[in-house]
Structure 1
Amino acid sequence: MVQRFEGQKEITKFQVSEIIEEKFKKITAEQNKSTQDIILHFSNFQQAITSQLVSMNEKINKDLQIKLNEISDRVKENLDQGFKKTNETFNNVVERLAKIDEAQKKIESLSANVVSLQDVLTDKKSRGIFGEVQLQQVLTAVFGEKNDKVYQLQYTLPNGKIADSIIFLPEPTGSLVVDSKFPLENFRRMFDTSFHETERKEFVKDFKSNLKKHIDDIASKYIIRDVTADQAVLFLPAEAIFAELYAYHGDIIDYAHSKKVWITSPTTFMAMITTVQVVLNNIERSKYTNVIHQELNKLADEFGRYKKRWDALATHIDTVSKDVKEIHITTNKITDRFEQISDVKIDKLLE
């Protein structure tokens, strides 16, 4: 019995072992299947995640590329504008530097000219030439460069004196002499503060004395009875000297008037001869007006003769017209007679 029991026990163990093994296989199979399902699900999940990641990456790359392009365009635009502005600024700087360089050259040239002018004004003879040149420029500006009928330069008078210029005005004024004077030396000293006030007062006296001498010279040399006008012009090439005279030295102006010498500057002389030019033009127009008036009178006489001759011709034409009509009537009658003779209308002719 014991053996039987042991035999059954071994059978049961075997069966249990088989059952366990079968269960294990089943569990293993299920586990394998579950593992495969898990792997499949995980693989699908991985693919989905990968697909989404790829899609998201593509979208991100696309958006990023768009943003980068926008940024690049903006950067390029800003750079272009910056380069353009920089180029404009550079060009402006270059132009301004060129202008500055040109201005510097002009300043240097002007400085040289000022030094040259200073040298000219220092020398008495050079000052005289400078005044004559200014006088010539004013005359040329108004009357033209070459107009000997109106004015001449360096004109020799019958007394042998040579005037800087002469303007030929109509009678009763006559020829007006203009002479240039430039009393600069004492004028400068009058305002030079390096001199003592007492000395400057002496320079004022010398300045006025110089001007009186110039006025006397012009009055004695260039006002000639029955040759020139009974007055002359003293031309001052410096406006400052002219202004000083009229503002503070009226006694010199009165002295000049008493000598019939008129003091002018470039500006006032320009105004004076411009008025002269207008007067001369009016005189020329008056001459042409007289000529036109004379020609119109002659034309009126000719027209009077023409009218008389035309009236006579019209009367003659009327007479001839009447004669022509009468001749025309006679001609028609003769023509009718010849036609009747040609048709041999004897009976009618006898009638």
Structure 2
Amino acid sequence: CLVKMPNGAPALAIDAKFPLEAWNAIRAAEGVDLQKVAAQAFRRDIEVHVRDISEKYLIQGETQDTAFMFVPSESVFAEIHENFEGIVHKAHRARIVIVSPSLLMLSIQVIQAILKDARMREQAHLIQGEVIRLMEDVSRLDERVRKLQSHFGQSAKDIDDILVSTSKVTKRGQKIEALEFGAQPTEGDAGSAETTHGAKVEAGARVADSKTGQLRLRVVEGDD
């Protein structure tokens, strides 16, 4: 089977067609001579199998330059490494890695991690360039925020100035509102004048009319 690798790398080939019959023959052999014959047959079958994997599954540009030969039993895996060391060396020279059930997934994950790390190193200069451009964008953003903060500060000052002006206008209006206003006196009423509430001016008071006839100031002479 083929296992896809990250970053578009070639797939990893895994062979699971282990010659288990030859191994069973070793286990079933009785006597030293029969065991030697079975062991030689097992070694020969494994060597042929390793050569077949190397020739069929290691395809340049399509698969990884290393393939896995899956051994379906931990005991068989241990027996191969203990009593058939020559097979292990030949497999390594042919770029075939013998793996057991417990090592299969771990080996795949190691290769995937190595490929990811290699890809990242290849793209390191691109990543660095993107980080530099990102920092430039952050710098421009900081500058624009500071300008906006300055505009807000000036706006707040302008609002304060406007409030001061409106306060002054309000106070002047209150002063004007406190003044007394009345109508222009008619003939026959020269000796008296009405206040803003229609009351008569007390005797002895002098009235000064404005030019418009609207503003009347009452001056009362006090006793000497």
TM-score by length of 1: 0.42
Instruction: Tell me which amino acid in the other structure corresponds to 1:185.
Output: E
**Are 1:203 and 2:38 matched, yes or no?**
yes
Q: Percent identity, please.
A: 22
Say if 1:167 and 1:177, in contact at 8 Å, map to a contact too: no
More RCO (CA 8 Å, sep 6+): 2
Distance in 2 between the 1:304 and 1:207 partners? 75
Q: Pick which of 220-229 and 207-216 moved more.
A: 220-229
Question: Corresponding residue for 1:212?
Answer: 47
**Are 1:183 and 2:19 matched, yes or no?**
yes
CA deviation vs aligned residue, 1:4-36 (integer Å, no higher than 9, x gap):
xxxxxxxxxxxxxxxxxxxxxxxxxxxxxxxxx
The 5 A counterparts of 1:138-287 are: 164-170=1-7, 174-194=10-30, 196-273=31-108, 275=110
Name the Cα RMSD after superposition: 3.4
CA deviation vs aligned residue, 1:277-314 (integer Å, no higher than 9, x gap):
7779999xxxxxx8xx79x8556654542332122121
TM-score by length of 2: 0.63
Runs of 4+ displaced beyond 4 Å: 274-283, 296-301, 341-345
The one of 334, 339, 350 equivalent to 2:173 is 334
The 5 A counterparts of 1:10-89 are: none
Question: Cα–Cα, structure 1 residues 318 and 271, in superposed 2: closer, same or farther, change >3 Å?
Answer: same
Instruction: Tell me which amino acid in the other structure corresponds to 1:215.
Output: V
Secondary structure class of the residue paired with 1:229: coil
Secondary structure class of the residue paired with 2:28: coil
Instruction: Tell me which amino acid in the other structure corresponds to 1:320.
Output: I
Say if 2:13 and 2:68, in contact at 8 Å, map to a contact too: yes
Q: Which has the higher helix share?
A: 1
Secondary structure class of the residue paired with 2:63: coil
Question: Cα–Cα, structure 1 residues 345 and 221, in superposed 2: closer, same or farther, change >3 Å?
Answer: farther
Instruction: Tell me which amino acid in the other structure corresponds to 1:177.
Output: A
- Who wins on radius of gyration, i.e. which is larger? 1
Question: Cα–Cα, structure 1 residues 347 and 310, in superposed 2: closer, same or farther, change >3 Å?
Answer: farther
Question: Cα–Cα, structure 1 residues 209 and 193, in superposed 2: closer, same or farther, change >3 Å?
Answer: closer
Offset of residue 346 of structure 1: 3.3
Secondary structure class of the residue paired with 2:179: helix
**Are 1:314 and 2:150 matched, yes or no?**
no
Offset of residue 272 of structure 1: 2.5
The number of equivalent residue pairs is: 174
Say if 2:6 and 2:112, in contact at 8 Å, map to a contact too: no
Instruction: Tell me which amino acid in the other structure corresponds to 1:252.
Output: I
Offset of residue 235 of structure 1: 0.9
Offset of residue 317 of structure 1: 1.8
Question: Cα–Cα, structure 1 residues 266 and 347, in superposed 2: closer, same or farther, change >3 Å?
Answer: farther
Distance in 2 between the 1:220 and 1:273 partners? 21
Q: Which runs of 5+ in 2 are unaligned?
A: 119-126, 182-195, 197-214, 220-224
Instruction: Tell me which amino acid in the other structure corresponds to 1:346.
Output: L
